[in-house]
Amino acid sequence: MKEIEIDREGAKKCEGKLGVLLPGLGAVSTTFIAGVLAIKKGIAKPIGSLTQMGTARLGKRTEHKVPLIKDLVHLAKLDDLVFGGWDIFEEDCYQSALNAGVLKKELLDEVREELERITPWKAVFSKDYVKNIEGPNVKEEKTKYDLAQSLIEDIQKFEEKNNLKRSVMVWCASTEVFIEESEVHRDIESFEEGLKANDKAIAPSMIYAYASLSAGVPFINGAPNLTVDIPALNQLAKEKRLPVAGKDFKTGQTLMKTIIAPGLKARLLGIKGWFSTNILGNRDGEVLDDPEAFKTKEVSKLSVLEYILQPELYPELYKDLYHKVRINYYPPRGDNKEGWDNIDIFGWLGYPMQIKVDFLCRDSILAAPIVLDLALFTDLAKRSGMYGIQEWLSFYFKSPMCGLGLYPEHDLFIQLMKLMNTLRYIADEELITHLGLDYYY
Ligand SMILES: NC(=O)c1ccc[n+]([C@@H]2O[C@H](COP(=O)([O-])OP(=O)(O)OC[C@H]3O[C@@H](n4cnc5c(N)ncnc54)[C@H](O)[C@@H]3O)[C@@H](O)[C@H]2O)c1
């Protein structure tokens, strides 16, 4: 099959503002927005963001050509981002950020005015899909189809008011109950019928994704929800030539897992068991306290090791691996999660060893730069003529979407290589294989 033709002119054209539409203005969204505002003011640094701080090597190592990624490809500038979003609560972004308790009040006060101007539009929400929370700021249209139309109107009004030609949507709302793909998700016709008939298998996140794509806006899924990972919405993305990416931001414990596991596997060290448990006390933790929402998260977290370790290829090392993941809601910690991992490994002649990880992490601090990078890279993908699943963005996800018949790539280092080569490809630069024999022969 031939490689996709990149629209090199489009890839370069990013004048004007970029709308960032956020379903869910909670901890992650407000940490992202407040962070961007603070960085623009020069009072903080975009640590953790590849688009802002990352570099890409070009050509041979002897050439010493290592531009910033933002100089290699044309990305929207932080000054050009305009934020809008939906939430079931009415608080503006300043208040919501204070409630989330991630960023210090002194920092939030520096950008207070801008944050206060961002107030949530009425959400599409139902307690059938997120059990542990309830709020007043919810749309009341009768059918899911009408709800989608109302979201499309929100998007259009936002784009008109801010004079935007491009937007992206990044789902930062709660994790929904576990849903499996069914008949109504089969194609866009049955999906639209399902919207009109209020089919239960269509969750609010799917209504947002449908509205986003219908309005010409790429959709990125930051939660483990099924959402855009269904044939109907994939079909819509392709028909509209829009990128989609997901799912579930890779932060915290899973980030650690995808850093450590490829290393152990690379050295052919066996793993008998991997027990992960963590405590967190934010609203995300509260939602995940519901077993049905936890199931969605658990499926997303569990698949990682299976794909990285490939037990079918290395049965002696990984076939009997016992993998367990626990999340415990513990309010005193707020957004400052603590994650413990106990890894039972074995080496030469089967001798056992143990690794213990105690990660005192800050969930939203790790997630915010991911939201930024995904917004900018997805906009780049759209301008470059890339559409459908953006597997090159797997780097950012716990449960990466991939094409039919492919297995998802979870190894962080392979994911990074893929991302960097995709950027080189978009920029019409030579891909790097890391072979390097020509330095010696
Ligand atoms: N923080 C991380 O490291 C991380 C990592 C991976 C995934 N995620 C996912 O990102 C999402 C956001 O995380 P968070 O910590 O900001 O959670 P949060 O609870 O602080 O924020 C989510 C917000 O979404 C709102 N909401 C729920 N359903 C909605 C709907 N249908 N429409 C509009 N708003 C809705 C809630 O009221 C809440 O304000 C969660 O799904 C979480 O699982 C977070």
Measure 174 CA to ligand 1 centroid, in angstroms.
4
Give per-residue burial for 222-240: e unless 16+ CB within 10 Å, then b.
Answer: bbbbbbbbbebbbbbbeee
pTM metric for this prediction = 0.96
Residue 405 has pLDDT above 60, yes or no: yes
- CATH code of the domain containing 311: 3.30.360.10
Nearest CA to ligand 1 atom 17: 284
Q: How far apart are the first and last CA of the chain?
A: 33
Residue 1 has pLDDT above 70, yes or no: no
Domain enclosing residue 375, as ranges: 8-249+365-426
Ligand 1 touching residue 249 (CB < 6 A): yes
- For residue range 104-163, list pLDDT tens digits in order: 999 999 999 999 999 999 999 999 999 989 999 999 999 999 999 999 999 999 999 999
Q: Are the C-beta atoms of residues 27 and 99 closer than 8 Å to each other? A: no
Ligand 1 touching residue 423 (CB < 6 A): no
29 and 68 part of one domain: yes
Omega prior to 247 cis, within 30 of 0: yes
Residue 3 has pLDDT above 70, yes or no: no
43 and 156 part of one domain: yes
Share of the chain above pLDDT 70, in %: 99
Ligand 1 touching residue 309 (CB < 6 A): no
- For residue range 47-100, list pLDDT tens digits in order: 999 999 999 999 999 999 999 999 999 999 999 999 999 999 999 999 999 999
The residues pairing with 362 across neighbouring beta strands, listed in sequence order, are 336
The residues pairing with 380 across neighbouring beta strands, listed in sequence order, are none
Nearest CA to ligand 1 atom 2: 363
Task: From 362, 385, 405, give the residue that closes a domain.
Answer: 362
Ligand 1 touching residue 175 (CB < 6 A): yes
Number of domains comprising the chain: 2
Ligand 1 touching residue 22 (CB < 6 A): no
356 and 303 part of one domain: yes
Ligand 1 touching residue 89 (CB < 6 A): yes
Measure 184 CA to ligand 1 centroid, in angstroms.
26
39 and 18 part of one domain: yes
12 and 113 part of one domain: yes
Ligand 1 touching residue 21 (CB < 6 A): no
In a domain, 201, yes or no: yes
How many residues comprise the chain? 441
- For residue range 163-219, list pLDDT tens digits in order: 999 999 999 999 999 999 999 999 999 999 999 999 999 999 999 999 999 999 999
